[in-house]
Structure 1
Amino acid sequence: MRYRSESPFQNARLLTVTLALAALAGAMPGHADEKQAKDLLKAMSDYMAAQEAISFEYDTSLEVVTKKHQKLALASSGTVTLNRPDKIRVTRQGGFANVEMVFDGKTLSVLGKDANLFAQTEVPGTIDHLIDALRDKFHRPLPAGDILMSKPYDELMPHVVDVKDLGSGVIRGEECDHLAFRTDDGVDWQIWIAQGQSPYPCRYVVTSTKVAGFPQYTIDIRSWKAGSDAAAGNFSFKAPDGAKERKLSDLPDTDELPEIFSVK
């Protein structure tokens, strides 16, 4: 399809719609809906914490902004299988990496499938401890780790200063409650929670408001299963034939932001 410029009429119409949406957002009664939004988030948190077994598939989009202010989106997909309190397997495949991570309550194993390299390190403890260690010690945060912890509400709410209930939204045919939050540390986040007896997070969006271009991370969750319906988990790790062991810090492109996009 050949590119063509927008006409003045189309630009004016787009501006009108944008201003209307901005005015609507500004007029939304944040405090009036605050309690209901918090109650919905707490119900999701309690539901998530009560599930001893969880499995789902996901798609992510990680936006980066270049020094020339061009916004680019890096897409990946993967799977999560989790057995509380201390076992999880995560896969992620994108344009730059094909990674598998396994944790059995004692040892974290990470495999870069394309490079046929793996790393192992002792991280005894729960999934909560692992998520904290991945973020704070190894600087390789787990996708949407906060909502996988045993008390998501307690992880998400400490810095929140503004809460909005934006009503309903539909994601892949699932009707969801749409909530928006602002924090005092430069992060906006939104979450869409499935309505009904299984209030799982269908979509989670985090926006960095203090970074030029407002880069954004989105995770869409699909094929959600919990309890006896969850996929059976295998949390043992065996390195493939010919795989070479490296330090975790030396494994290339195991984070969602590949090395080619590092700041230079």
Structure 2
Amino acid sequence: MRRSSLFVVIVAIACAPALARAQTGDVPSSAIMAAPQVQPEAIAALEKMSAYLRSLKQFGLHADTTIDLVMEDGQKLEFPGTLNYKVRSPNGLYIGMKSDRKERELYYDGKTLTVYGPRNKLYAQTPAPPTIAGLLALAEDKYGIELPLADLFLWGTARAPVSALRSAAYVGPARIDGSVTDQYAFRQDGVDWQIWIEAGDKPLPRRMVITTTDDAAQPQYASTLRWNTNATIRDGDFAFTAPKDAHRIELVAAQEVSQ
């Protein structure tokens, strides 16, 4: 897990006792009052979720999001948005991002990355590696683009090591969109984050809240995730065809921008 900025693109196990607690709304006070520590059960839950996500060959995902932006005077403004994902492992990715102020689409077909702005009809393209993992590294390392909800692909890999966690704790059961989940809280340098993992044999992340702690205003990013693991995915979902009135621009490397 990285900072909440990762969600801004240029251009987001069940057992009877747990179910009973979720129904009554009781949260173990020990989870809230305990001193920060790395609890093995929290790490195990994160690893189980990570393994399940890596096992998915394709899926659709909708996320309702909010992000805090901090004004120069320190006031925080909250902006809602939505994300729509179509994913086919290892080399197909579509992301549609929409808010009142910005709309972006990202296409990746295993060969080319395209970033398109439907409102201004501008798009940029660059050759891309043959896997989603390679795409994420290229986008961030070369272009400074941190894709929304990139952690879905990074958990359980060397780019998101559990050794970076300074604390990991089980908070308690909760319901998200009517589903029973278990809530966990994690902390690492510069960021606190919470995740609600669906109980049962499909441990999908259902909600995430990320707080940037090395900013005095502590802005937050939050997303509620709705999964479709049986989504119909087609080759055309990842192919970009430029509209006739669209114009191509250059995708500039981050190092060139900073010079």
Query: Which of 81, 86, 98 pairs up with 1:76?
Result: 81
Q: Is the Cα contact below 8 Å between 1:144 and 1:219 reproduced in 2?
A: no
Instruction: Give the TM-score, by structure 2 length.
Output: 0.80
- Residue 120 of structure 2 is matched in structure 1 by 115
Change (3 A) 1:152 1:48: farther
Change (3 A) 1:174 1:156: farther
Pick aligned residue for 2:136 from 119, 131, 135: 131
Q: Which residue of 2 aligns with 1:214?
A: 218
**CA 1:153 to 1:170, structure 2 compared with 1: closer, same or farther past 3 Å?**
farther
**Match runs of 1:26-45 below 5 Å:** 27-28=33-34, 30-31=36-37, 34-45=39-50
- In 2, the alpha carbon distance for the partners of 1:135 and 1:159 equals 19
Q: TM-score if structure 1 supplies the norm length?
A: 0.78
Secondary structure of the corresponding residue to residue 197 of structure 1: coil
What is the Cα deviation at residue 26 of structure 1?
Answer: 6.1
**1:10-159 to 2 correspondence within 5 Å?**
27-28=33-34, 30-31=36-37, 34-149=39-154, 151=156, 155=160, 157-159=162-164
Match of 2:204 among 197, 200, 204: 200
Change (3 A) 1:193 1:154: farther
Q: Contact 1:62–1:73 (CA<8 Å) still a contact in 2?
A: yes
RMSD: 2.3
Q: 2:44 is paired with a residue of what secondary structure? A: helix
Q: Verify the 8 A CA contact 1:225 1:231 in the aligned structure 2.
A: no
Contact 2:155–2:161, Cα closer than 8 Å, also in 1: no
**Which sections of structure 1, spanning at least 5 residues, go unmatched?**
1-22, 251-264
Count the aligned residue pairs.
Answer: 224
- Could you tell me the percent identity over the aligned residues? 31
Report deviation, 1:153: 8.4
Q: CA deviation at 1:242?
A: 1.1
Of structures 1 and 2, the one scoring higher in RCO (CA 8 A, sep 6+) is 2
Q: Which moved more, 1:197-206 or 1:145-154?
A: 145-154
| Alignment counterpart, residue 239 of structure 1, candidates 239, 242, 245 | 242
Q: Which amino acid aligns with 1:216?
A: Q
CA shift in 2, pair 1:153/1:199, >3 Å: farther
